[in-house]
Amino acid sequence: MGPRGMMGFMRPDPDDEPVLPAQSAEEAGIGWDEAPEPAADQAAPGGRPGVTRRATVVFAALAAADTLLAATGHERRRWLTKPLLMPVLMMGRDRPAQRAIALGGAGDVALLGSTETAFTLGLACFLAGHVAWIIALRERPGGGLLRAKPALAVAHVAAFGALNAYLWKRTGKNRIPVIAYSAALLAMSLAALDSGSPRTAAGGALFVASDTLLALEKFGDLHLPAHEALVMATYTSAQALLAG
């Protein structure tokens, strides 16, 4: 065998090269400053990007219309816009995200009512939605940011403690349900933060802001100008950011 034949015989087969295991953001030492952010038009894993892009445009238009109707006090017309929000946002998403968004949609319809029963039903739907979002976010690749940087959770935990301390004497018979709901909300926002995606983390934080505004109006007797419009603007933005 000549030198060239010997070199061909000794060349390593690419298939025999070791494959390194995939690393999480924590293992690779990557934080938000270095972690690549998915493209803006990229759907979550398992989704359909083309459908998602078109649905997001329609959702943004519906959300703007519903927020404007809320700001101007046209509550009856919102029976046309608000129930359509989450079904449109669901289009093209992966199944875990669709389940979470669907529960939010059920909560939206419930909160169109003005009775205590409607409020309780809406609270239950959104609580289940937060649990569904935690599951959906845990199934996405990446994560582990809070294990690497636990101090990032301080603001979320502090907000949870401050809100519940303020509402403690104001919630009455609803105290335990409110605490349970806010605990689920906190867990969801931390799961969003732990994802390592600034966009997803912003979605979790906006959801906290939206629900805080609702709680302060319901139990704290706080009425801001265009209060419902602020709630809807933060809420619809949160759902869209979490959906990816």
Would you call 32 helix, strand, or coil by DSSP? Answer: coil
Q: Grade residue 14 by pLDDT with cuts at 50, 70 and 90.
A: very low
Alpha helices in 168-226 (DSSP H): 175-194, 198-218
Q: How far apart are CA 145 and CA 27, in angstroms?
A: 10
User: Is the Cβ–Cβ distance between 51 and 92 less than 8 Å?
Assistant: yes
Q: What is the pLDDT of residue 110?
A: 96
Closest by alpha carbon to 95, among 56, 142, 140, 53? Answer: 140
> Looking at per-residue confidence, does 147 or 43 come out higher?
147
pLDDT in tens, 81-131: 999 999 999 999 999 999 999 999 999 999 999 899 999 999 999 999 999
Q: What is the pLDDT of residue 46?
A: 57
Q: What is the pLDDT of residue 244?
A: 85
Q: How many CB atoms lie within 10 A of CB 135?
A: 14
Burial of 105 (0-12, 13-18, 19+ CB in 10 A): buried
pLDDT at 17 over 90: no
> Looking at per-residue confidence, does 143 or 14 come out higher?
143
> Looking at per-residue confidence, does 41 or 147 come out higher?
147
Q: What is the pLDDT of residue 35?
A: 46
Closest by alpha carbon to 148, among 36, 20, 24, 22? Answer: 24
Residue 24, both tokens: 């999480």
Q: How many CB atoms lie within 10 A of CB 72?
A: 11
Q: How far apart are CA 81 and CA 63, in angstroms?
A: 8
Q: What is the pLDDT of residue 44?
A: 53
Counting every residue, how long is the chain? 244
pLDDT in tens, 30-65: 455 444 444 433 445 556 778 889 999 999 999 999
Q: How many CB atoms lie within 10 A of CB 102?
A: 18
- Distance linking the first and last C-alpha atoms of the chain: 59
pLDDT in tens, 171-230: 998 899 999 999 999 999 999 999 999 999 999 999 999 999 999 999 988 888 899 999
